[in-house]
C-alpha cells in the first residue's frame, strides 16, 4: 500500500507508505535517528527482530550503494 512515486521532501523520489500499510514498522531500526532528508525518523516499534544480526551485513551493503552514486 504505497502512494505513487513522488517528491515527499527528500533529494530522491520515493514511495510514501499509506496509512495501514503492512510495511509500517517492518524494517530494521539500525540505530538511525534521521532519514535521508535529515528529518527525525518516526519509528513506533524500535525493538524489531533480527536487528543485531542484520546490522553489520546491511551497513556494508549501504556503504556500497552510497559509493555507487557518488
> Bigger pLDDT: 10 or 18?
18
Question: Which percentage of the chain shows pLDDT scores above 90?
Answer: 3
Local structure of 4: helix, strand or coil: strand
pLDDT tens for 48-58 read 444 444 444 44
How would you class 57 by CB atoms within 10 Å of its CB: exposed for 0-12, middle for 13-18, buried for 19 or more? exposed
What pLDDT is stored for residue 58 in this prediction? 47
pTM of the model: 0.42
What pLDDT is stored for residue 47 in this prediction? 53
What pLDDT is stored for residue 4 in this prediction? 92
**Alpha carbons within 13 A on the beta-carbon side of 67:** 6
Q: DSSP string spanning 11-51?
A: SS-EEEEPTT-TTTT-S--TT--B-TTSPBP--S----TTH
Amino acid at each position: 500500500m504505497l502512494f505513487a512515486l513522488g517528491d515527499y521532501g527528500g533529494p530522491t523520489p520515493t514511495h510514501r507508505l499509506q496509512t495501514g500499510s503492512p510495511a509500517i514498522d517492518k524494517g530494521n531500526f539500525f540505530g538511525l535517528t534521521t532519514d535521508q532528508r535529515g528529518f527525525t525518523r518516526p519509528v513506533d516499534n524500535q525493538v524489531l527482530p533480527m536487528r543485531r544480526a542484520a546490522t553489520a551485513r546491511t551497513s556494508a551493503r549501504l556503504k556500497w550503494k552510497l559509493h555507487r552514486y557518488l
